[in-house]
Amino acid sequence: MNKYLVVMISLAAALDMKANAQLVLGDTYNTGYSGVVALAPGATDTDFTIISAPVGQSTGINPVVPTIQPSVWFTSPTAQYISPSTDQHYPPDPAYGGDLPGNYDYQSILGTDFIVPTDVTFTGSYAADNTASVEIGGNIVTTTLTPPNSDFSGPLVPFTFTLLVGSGVQNTSVDFIVENYNSDNSSPQNSDGLDNPTGLIVSNLRATAPEPSTYAMLVAGLGALLLVKRVRRAAAL
């Protein structure tokens, strides 16, 4: 078999490979769900990992669907709140549940094996208690705020962002950085060190890109041009 044909076939096959990652290109994710099935209270959401948190809180863990939630938290028919711990009582009180004030980074990884550049577009909507920002590949996409002393019932905020993945293996992080306020719902800059309810809800998180066959055709076309050039060069000798 012509070595150029072998290369073209190998490249086309590689275009359809995916790295082992939490997020799969083209699939849809909702916090507190496994596919289309709602997770039970107390169950962990393995699509996300809390990679950073205030000192005294656990990291490297999957968030959970709280068994006790503030009744006024915003609800969605397609997603549930997830939190660092199961007990998220409200109103804030040292005797009630919650987590320390500060920042919590809920992260997922999109792993893709692209050998030619392509754009990946991320879409979804989210809300948080208290504030949250979305970062994709290190780019701050959007920030939403739940005002202090509110009832935490703010609606989901939509976002969309297109990231140039580039060539080679690219593992792109999708981070929801949630800032938890003090127990009196003031900014955590001067932390009172008391637990306070916190959580994140994400609906219809999705990463999409052009079909691999599109790039396979481009690679095949490039290979054909190289082959024609080689034949012409040989004929000119």
Distance CA 160, CA 121 (A): 7
Distance CA 50, CA 216 (A): 37
* Arithmetic mean of pLDDT, 212-228: 53
Distance CA 116, CA 8 (A): 13
pLDDT tens-digit profile of 11-55?
Answer: 333 333 333 336 888 899 999 999 899 999 999 999 999 999 998
For the domain made up of 21-209, the CATH class stated in words is: mainly beta
Please report the pLDDT score of residue 20 as a whole number. Answer: 32
Q: What is the length of the chain?
A: 237
Instruction: Please name the helix (run of DSSP H) or strand (run of DSSP E) that holds residue 3, with its range, or none.
Output: helix 3-14
pLDDT tens-digit profile of 67-104?
Answer: 988 878 888 889 999 999 999 987 766 677 889 899 99
Q: Where are the domains of the chain?
A: 21-209
Q: Which residue has the higher pLDDT, 183 or 7?
A: 183
**Which single residue is written with the structure tokens 């991320």?**
122
115 close to 168: Cβ distance less than 8 angstroms: yes
Distance CA 174, CA 26 (A): 15
122 close to 174: Cβ distance less than 8 angstroms: yes
Please report the pLDDT score of residue 75 as a whole number. Answer: 82
Name every residue whose Cβ is closer than 8 Å to that of residue 225 and which is 6 or more positions away in sequence: none
Question: The pTM is what?
Answer: 0.77
Buried b (16+ CB within 10 A) or exposed e, 11-21: bbebbeeeeee
141 close to 134: Cβ distance less than 8 angstroms: yes
Please report the pLDDT score of residue 53 as a whole number. Answer: 94
Please report the pLDDT score of residue 91 as a whole number. Answer: 72
Strand partners of residue 120: 163
